Structure 1
């Protein structure tokens, strides 16, 4: 099932409704579930008075870990980015500059922790993110990677926005082919047990954050800031939105349980914990072998933030 990605629109004209003092960002609910009880959760979420965001980390494909504790560089990076975002995001500071600063500092920390070891690109942690932010006279979404914003505006129009639109479709088809070849999700080999699969994954990961590569992320490359995907959002208030890592967005993007507008309504009506239970029930009881909903792992980390942006009464 494909969702309509947000299309760029003309810059918004300054209006009284979008004057920063007149806008209120309210966090209605949040949730972050680990994909496995035996692995650390490599997702993060956060917010300030001006923004809300989710972060989805991915550990490098090397034989050991560089920075992270508890066997996960990605968990370290996601937490580092969360803290840095919350400290750095303030009125007047461009999001591209914040991403550049985050990656530059992460790069220095990784280099220090590596202690001179060779660190190929595929061995470094990376992370995607998606954010909603109030900036002066407009509301903007920013992102890198495959997290998603689902948004319903004051006119009832719902859109989905991701820095990698269509990525869920590509991953689903790749997973379908692998599952058919192996005879089920439970038979998928682990990367460390399949040298050919590991080599292919390393080759692909090595192209990330390079001029010819398909993906830019948070991590160790400051130039990723030049590839930040941003779009202004409409001023039709109030708006309700759901920021999701791909593990939570799967309820709409892969499992077909909700259309984007239904997804937001269900989150507001039932709460994110109910949706999280529905997600895990599909993965662990209804379709544990990935036949109905092809995927590369039984369950992914799943994180979401439900928010509303409104103007005060009487404005």
Structure 2
């Protein structure tokens, strides 16, 4: 069984707001992993004294513990409880009603001898590679379906010179429009794990037979840029690259692509560099169990 992870901040001077953790029982016949991508808030008050890295560490740790030890709970139920636990951990010190309270995207997967269960919330990605070589991307596509007016604000900001005051102003307007759609109380827009356990019921979830799965690959959007932003290959190509070069090799290729287009002219994106995390689990052949 091969298991590899890599996680790297987008900027060395800023803390990594991604999180990855795994649980692999000694028997080798089951396990779980969690990948979170913390949402970087704009400058200013966020209502929390702890910050995004603290939040993803607490939420990721709680989710992994529940996913690994509470097999009678679904992953959505585990996420709901993990969100509730994390909220309780700082409700007495922080304003959890603040719209910029720490929050994160979520990928979780767990497996045993019979099945593989998964959960995806927001724009991180889970790749499920079949024993036949096929690769299926499990994605929450709601963030892709922004209203035309919000998309227009994004394109207008990206068309302005990088580093200019005009672009900063336009980008702030776009960010505000996106924030209004994140975890909107009317259920529209898109969703991240923040303080409300009910968001877990909105995640993309499913279960597939263990016999049909060769490998699982969890990616934050900083790592999936290789396919989604830089278009260096499709999901099957990305999976093949990680099998060959490992998660660290994928991130190195993303960094090279970012450096080759620092201003985002050829490949427009929200940040020149982003935190990037990947975890690869190659499941053992059942015949070897």
Using the size of structure 2 for normalisation, the TM-score is: 0.84
Change over 3 Å in CA distance of 1:252–1:103 after alignment to 2: same
Matched, 1:183 2:161: yes
Matched, 1:307 2:277: no
Per-residue displacement from partner, 1:82-135 (whole Å, max 9, x unpaired)?
110222122222222211112222223342122xx5x55422111011122226
Identify the residue that residue 262 of structure 2 maps to in structure 1. Answer: 288
Identify the residue that residue 81 of structure 1 maps to in structure 2. Answer: 59
SS, match of residue 214 in structure 1: coil
In structure 2, how many angstroms separate the alpha carbons of the residues matched to 1:110 and 1:189? Answer: 37
Matched, 1:155 2:135: no
Identify the residue that residue 241 of structure 1 maps to in structure 2. Answer: 216
Identify the residue that residue 53 of structure 1 maps to in structure 2. Answer: 34
* Residue 174 of structure 1, CA deviation: 6.5
Change over 3 Å in CA distance of 1:173–1:245 after alignment to 2: farther
In structure 2, how many angstroms separate the alpha carbons of the residues matched to 1:266 and 1:174? Answer: 35
Over the residues paired in the alignment, what is the CA RMSD in angstroms?
A: 2.9
Using the size of structure 1 for normalisation, the TM-score is: 0.78
Identify the residue that residue 269 of structure 1 maps to in structure 2. Answer: 244
Aligned match for 1:106, one of 86, 89, 113 = 86
In structure 2, how many angstroms separate the alpha carbons of the residues matched to 1:95 and 1:305? Answer: 18
**Comparing both chains, which one has the higher relative contact order based on Cα–Cα distances under 8 Å and sequence gaps of 6 or more?**
1
Aligned match for 2:196, one of 218, 221, 243 = 221
Q: Is the 8 A contact 2:114 2:211 kept in 1?
A: no
* Residue 30 of structure 1, CA deviation: 0.7
In structure 2, stretches of 5+ residues that fail to align are 25-30
* Residue 156 of structure 1, CA deviation: 1.3
Per-residue displacement from partner, 1:170-203 (whole Å, max 9, x unpaired)?
99987554221x124x44768xx63x75455335
Q: How many residues align?
A: 278
In structure 1, how many angstroms separate the alpha carbons of the residues matched to 2:105 and 2:124? Answer: 6
In structure 2, how many angstroms separate the alpha carbons of the residues matched to 1:291 and 1:172? Answer: 17
Q: Is the 8 A contact 1:148 1:249 kept in 2?
A: yes
Matched, 1:139 2:116: yes
In structure 1, how many angstroms separate the alpha carbons of the residues matched to 2:211 and 2:220? Answer: 25
Q: Is the 8 A contact 2:258 2:273 kept in 1?
A: yes
In structure 1, how many angstroms separate the alpha carbons of the residues matched to 2:114 and 2:124? Answer: 25
Identify the residue that residue 17 of structure 1 maps to in structure 2. Answer: none
1:20-31 alignment, distance < 5 Å: 26-31=1-6
In structure 2, how many angstroms separate the alpha carbons of the residues matched to 1:212 and 1:140? Answer: 25
**Stretches of 4+ aligned residues off by more than 6 angstroms:** 168-174
Identify the residue that residue 22 of structure 1 maps to in structure 2. Answer: none
In structure 1, stretches of 5+ residues that fail to align are 1-25
Q: Is the 8 A contact 1:172 1:294 kept in 2?
A: no
Q: Is the 8 A contact 2:75 2:108 kept in 1?
A: no
Matched, 1:97 2:77: yes
